[in-house]
Amino acid sequence: MSEPELIVLSTETDTARELRADVRDGLRDTPKRLSSKWLYDTRGSELFEHITELSEYYQKRAEQRILRDNAAEIAGLTGVGTLVELGSGSSEKTRLLLDAMRNETLERFVPLDVSESALRSAVEAIALDYPELTVRGVVGDFTTGLAKMPPTDDRMVAFLGGTIGNLLPDQRAEFLASVRAALRPGDWLLLGTDLVKDPDRLVRAYDDAEGVTAEFNRNVLRMLNRELGADFPVEDFEHRVHWDADREWIEMRLRAGRALRVFVRELDMTVDFAAGEEIRTEISAKFRLDRIRRELDVGGFDLYRWWSDEAGDFAVSLASA
């Protein structure tokens, strides 16, 4: 086994600078907003793992099922030398792919994630269990990291978990075009997307009975208090979930229970909230096949195959560059 390698593209300083810019712009905007990527500090990542185990949150189980049932076919169809995984996190579901692909032509696994600690442990675990693979972790943002990665042989880029749904439509278009620009004709993209379904089930998936998602959402304010010296009275903010039927996306919001003023020390910035005013902390778009096909097409990909679970809750699409 060769020693796993870690390449750091975005440093803590880059991330700190981005956070400050996002807070400065997003909390001045009307309505107020924050990028959903700030939900994933250490505590947030733990809470997210907990969310994926809740009975209301069908997504992870549905995607695992699809991958378990179809990984061998995906491996056979693609037969690439390199698997790149964007936003790999713990790389758990990736094992389903790696198990199938190691029997084919796979030589290299390149997981990319913003969290250096999560990536480091994933890379070490995978390198141990797949000694024949060259494993090279890349610390970076999935929206920019791929373009900066050294080119290799034929590749499949996997972007699973439905995370593409956390981007706004314009950002998705830009993201897909940038992935396509980093690939060569004949390379592959494997994309996980949550699907449009009964709004009640969707809302429950983001507003679970145990309140884990509420805690996950409010945790972003604790992070701002810690990282930027803000003084958000966290318990005065209520977790809200809204289904936007026109745009077919879920919004997570935090609603101020009373009029309040927050001071963000590191930015020397005062933020006023009217009673009931909300901050949007996440969008999570839900897809239909025609939209998946169209967005891939606009991004320069051809949808080749797609798979869904039996209930039709989630989809995994395979597209060629």
Question: Which residues bind to ligand AVJ, rule: CB under 6 A?
Answer: 51, 59, 161-163, 165-166, 206, 213, 282, 284
Q: Return the number of the residue (139 or 250) whose C-beta is nearest ligand AVJ.
A: 250
Residue 315 C-beta: closest distance to ligand AVJ, Å: 13
Residue 281 C-beta: closest distance to ligand AVJ, Å: 9
E-assigned strands of 114-232? 134-139, 155-159, 188-194
- Tell me how far apart the alpha carbons of residues 223 and 219 are, in angstroms, rounded to a whole number: 6
Torsion sign over Cα 293, 296, 297, 301: negative
Q: Return the number of the residue (59 or 91) whose C-beta is nearest ligand AVJ.
A: 59
Torsion sign over Cα 130, 45, 26, 57: positive
Q: Return the number of the residue (49 or 73) whose C-beta is nearest ligand AVJ.
A: 49
Q: Return the number of the residue (130 or 216) whose C-beta is nearest ligand AVJ.
A: 216
**CB closest to ligand AVJ, residue no:** 284
Q: Return the number of the residue (4 or 161) whose C-beta is nearest ligand AVJ.
A: 161
Q: What are phi and psi of 213, to 5 degrees?
A: -70, -35
Triad 167, 172, 173: Cα angle to 5°: 160
Contacts for 316 with CB less than 8 Å, ≥ 6 apart:
63, 66, 67, 70, 160, 190, 191, 192, 193, 306, 307, 308
Q: Return the number of the residue (60 or 136) whose C-beta is nearest ligand AVJ.
A: 60
Residue 217 C-beta: closest distance to ligand AVJ, Å: 7
Residue 53 C-beta: closest distance to ligand AVJ, Å: 12
Residue 166 C-beta: closest distance to ligand AVJ, Å: 5
Residue 152 C-beta: closest distance to ligand AVJ, Å: 27
165 and 139 in contact (C-beta within 8 Å)?
no
